[in-house]
């Protein structure tokens, strides 16, 4: 590759573009109306060149990486260069360039001297877009038409003027129009911030230099990716993992990935993955591509710019009509858990090729709990709780406790915020001991949360997983403890709920959820007694676990000391 820009200028421009995308993310965060965007951080921002190729992404959800190129491709297919300064475009159609109906794309072309030089792109998950149930997301939706308004690429603003017909259509068809339209306007504001960042760069360096730097960054990303992959040992490995349900109470869902490293190319072959399911768990191909890119990126030793170049060394094989490549009229509103399971499967396949770089399975992805009802004044509310959890054990380190899955940037809603805005009381929230998978490096602990409904009646939708198919351990590490959902009824009865369900909850009832714990990495018998002792003192594991899982005997009279069980006992355990 022969660079057309000196490396110092390219580096400055790269950082400026990344900062611009981060400024967009911060603007969206500060101006958003809904908790799903403002507190759960379910959104992303990026900048693309005039051809729609990504040249920067904000520090937001990595899984959205793969969606931007496809979305921009479909936008340009429809409009080409028939765009004017001040135009803003909107889309959410999973079969027209999007990922699932709740994720709305807002894109603004950036002009300089009458020519498009860049695109500012935002994607955000919205509280409601109509459809069968509050929140437009339910695992038991069985076709796309139940999930809300499908918006093809349309002009939201034309030469700076908003299209009031589109806003009126949205306002009429969503349950919480103030928050939905407020978040859309926040996305437009973020695009304006991105436009300003690009203009500042052009004023300093010129449009030609900016264009050349963008092209160089894409080529440079490809070069770094190929060099890294070429340093990995060639080989092929297949891994299979499962989701507990198809979303409608049906059978488990199989994911199969064959990972191949050959020279400077990485192939992920999803053939063998189950056909698309009845429930709303099906993934678009673009989302699947994003999962592969994130996994390869996580295994790399060096930093790589967030550009379209990272996809060039990747060969991703999917079959249309499968859960990894949905076709009409498949439902997809809860496809987030599918992305997490695809990531676990890809990591599992990569672990056979790069065992010193891959972590064990985490909690299985964010748990999504959606409460939809009405306040006493009859005004509607939709409360999204995206509960983030824990990591699996890593080569050389324990899994993180209480941290979002490594392939997303997400946050739990603060207790005070939830109780201030919604008719709920958070009765319990914290880490659960003895849930991380035993290993030389222990899996992270599960997160638990408990909600009491204070008034009225609400629709309740739950998307969780990893109850039956536990987070796997690696290199002789053990599985983490499974998840559980329990609903305590007003009559005192206790009902264990499925991992995925749509049901009704009434005032005075309590929902308890515990996520799965992360899998362990390495043989538990190789964990140091000092680490076991520290975990016991911090109440992360019990004395029983120390004895049975790690063969470490602690002196109850002097908790500062611990010793490995006698060699004979350890040998018996190993046998």
The pLDDT of residue 406:
87
pLDDT at position 409 is: 83
Rounded to the nearest integer, the mean pLDDT of the chain is 93
Are the beta carbons of 311 and 289 closer than 8 angstroms? Answer: yes
Three-state SS letters, 212-238: HHHHHHHHHHHHHHHHHHHHCCCEEEE
Quick check: is 321 in a domain? no
**Which pLDDT does position 6 carry in this prediction?**
85
Q: What are phi and psi of 40, to 5 degrees?
A: -80, -15
pLDDT at 554 over 70: yes
Q: What is the pLDDT of residue 60?
A: 84
Same domain, 420 and 557: no
Q: Are residues 403 and 550 in the same domain?
A: no
Q: What percent of the chain has pLDDT over 70?
A: 96
Question: Confidence class of residue 67 from pLDDT cuts 50, 70 and 90?
Answer: confident
**C-alpha dihedral over 61, 63, 68, 69, to 10 degrees?**
150
Residues 545 and 484 in one domain: no
Would 261 be classed as within a structural domain?
Answer: no
**Distance, CA of 325 to chain centre:** 17
Task: Decide if 197 is inside a domain.
Answer: yes
Residue ending a domain, choose from 185, 201, 222 = 222
Pair 88, 208 in one domain: yes
Task: For residues 146 and 61, state if they share a domain.
Answer: yes
Nearest to 375 by CA among 501, 480, 490, 507: 507
- Domain ranges, residue 17: 7-222
The vertex-538 CA angle with 534 and 542, nearest 5°, equals 85
Pick the more confident residue, 203 or 558.
203
Q: Which of 222, 238, 267 is at the close of a domain? A: 222
For the residues 111-136, what does the mean pLDDT come to? 96
> 69 with 54: CB under 8 angstroms?
yes
Give, in order, the Cα–Cα distances in Å from 25 to each of 47, 89, 527: 11, 18, 41
Strands (E), 126-252: 154-158, 161-162, 235-243
Cα 388 vs. chain centroid, distance in angstroms? 10
Could you tell me if residue 534 is inside a domain?
yes
User: For residue 263, is it within any domain?
Assistant: no
Give the least confident one: 6-15, 251-260, 353-362: 6-15
Strands 552-554 and 235-243: unpaired
Does residue 270 form part of some domain?
Answer: no
Provide the pLDDT for residue 407. Answer: 86
Number of domains within the chain = 3
Q: Do 405 and 533 fall within a single domain?
A: no
- Tell me which of 222, 249, 278 is where a domain ends: 222
pLDDT > 60? residue 294: yes
Shared domain for 465 and 533, answered yes or no, is no
| pLDDT class of 571 with cuts at 50, 70, 90 | low
pLDDT tens column, 167-176: 999 999 999 9
pLDDT in tens, 382-400: 999 989 889 999 999 999 9
- Residue 373 to residues 168, 380, 456: CA-CA distances in angstroms? 23, 6, 8
Specify if 354 maps to a domain: no
543 and 434 housed in the same domain: no
Residues 518 and 558 in one domain: no
Assess whether 568 and 464 both reside in one domain.
no
545 and 403 belong to one structural domain: no
443 and 417 share one domain: yes
Residue with the two structure tokens 């959606």 = 370
Residue 541 lies in a domain: yes
pLDDT in tens, 481-537: 999 999 999 988 999 999 999 999 999 999 999 999 999 999 999 999 999 999 999
Cβ contacts of residue 491 below 8 Å, gap of 6+? none
Binned at pLDDT 50, 70 and 90, residue 224 comes out as very high
CA atoms within 13 A on the CB side of 417: 14
pLDDT over threshold 70, residue 563: no
Instruction: Write down the pTM of the prediction.
Output: 0.94
- List residues bridging with 472 in a β-sheet: none
Confidence of residue 556 (pLDDT cuts 50, 70, 90): low
CA-closest candidate to residue 102, choices 154, 155, 43, 45: 43
Model pLDDT, residue 408:
86
User: Does the pLDDT of residue 327 top 70, yes or no?
Assistant: yes
In terms of Cα–Cα distance, which of 429, 488, 420, 432 is closest to 460? 488
Confidence at residue 216, expressed as pLDDT on a 0 to 100 scale:
93
């Amino acid at each position: 590759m022969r660079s057309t820009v000196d490396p110092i200028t390219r580096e400055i421009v790269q950082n400026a573009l990344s900062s611009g995308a981060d400024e967009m993310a911060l603007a969206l965060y500060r101006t958003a109306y809904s908790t799903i965007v403002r507190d759960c951080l379910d959104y992303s921002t990026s900048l693309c060149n005039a051809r729609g190729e990504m040249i920067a992404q904000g520090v937001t959800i990595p899984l959205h990486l793969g969606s931007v190129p496809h979305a921009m491709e479909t936008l340009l297919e429809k409009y080409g260069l028939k765009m004017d300064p001040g135009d803003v475009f909107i889309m959410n159609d999973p079969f027209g360039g999007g990922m699932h109906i709740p994720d709305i794309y807002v894109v603004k072309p950036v002009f300089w001297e009458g020519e498009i030089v860049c695109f500012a792109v935002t994607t955000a998950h919205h509280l409601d877009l109509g459809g069968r149930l509050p929140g437009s997301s339910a695992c038991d939706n069985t076709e796309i038409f139940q999930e809300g308004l499908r918006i093809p690429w349309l002009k939201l603003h034309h030469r700076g003027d908003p299209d009031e017909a589109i806003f009126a259509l949205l306002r009429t068809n969503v349950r919480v129009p103030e928050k939905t339209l407020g978040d859309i306007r926040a996305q437009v504001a973020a695009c304006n911030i991105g436009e300003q960042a690009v203009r500042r760069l052009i004023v300093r360096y010129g449009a030609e230099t900016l264009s050349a730097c963008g092209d160089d960054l894409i080529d440079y990303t490809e070069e770094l990716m190929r060099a890294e992959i070429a340093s990995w040992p060639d080989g092929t490995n297949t891994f299979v993992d499962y989701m507990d349900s198809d979303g409608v109470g049906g059978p488990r869902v199989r994911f199969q990935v064959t990972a191949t490293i050959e020279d400077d190319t990485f192939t992920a072959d999803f053939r063998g993955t189950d056909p698309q399911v009845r429930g709303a768990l099906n993934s678009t191909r673009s989302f699947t591509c994003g999962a592969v890119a994130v996994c390869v990126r996580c295994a790399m030793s060096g930093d790589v710019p967030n550009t379209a170049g990272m996809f060039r060394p990747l060969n991703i094989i999917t079959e249309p009509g499968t859960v990894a490549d949905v076709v009409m009229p498949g439902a997809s509103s809860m496809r987030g858990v599918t992305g997490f399971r695809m990531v676990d499967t890809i990591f599992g396949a990569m672990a056979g090729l790069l065992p010193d770089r891959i972590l064990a399975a985490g909690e299985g992805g964010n748990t999504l709990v959606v409460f939809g009802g009405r306040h006493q004044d009859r005004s509607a509310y939709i409360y999204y709780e995206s509960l983030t959890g824990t990591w699996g054990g890593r080569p050389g380190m324990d899994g993180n406790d209480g941290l979002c899955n490594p392939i997303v940037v997400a946050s739990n809603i603060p207790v005070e915020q939830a109780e201030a805005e919604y008719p709920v009381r958070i009765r319990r929230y914290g880490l659960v001991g003895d849930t991380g998978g035993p290993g030389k490096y222990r899996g992270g602990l599960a997160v638990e949360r408990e909600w009491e409904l204070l008034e009225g009646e609400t629709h309740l939708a739950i998307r969780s997983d990893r109850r039956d198919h536990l987070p796997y351990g690696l290199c002789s590490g053990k599985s983490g403890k499974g998840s559980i959902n329990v609903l305590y009824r007003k009559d005192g009865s206790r009902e264990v709920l499925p991992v995925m369900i749509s049901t009704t909850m009434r005032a005075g009832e309590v929902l308890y959820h515990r996520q799965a714990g992360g899998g362990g990495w390495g043989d538990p018998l190789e964990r140091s007694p000092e680490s076991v002792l520290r975990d016991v003192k911090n109440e992360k594991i019990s004395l029983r676990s120390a004895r049975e899982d790690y063969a470490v005997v602690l002196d109850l009279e002097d908790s500062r000391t611990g010793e490995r069980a006698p060699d004979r006992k350890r040998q018996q355990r190993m046998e």
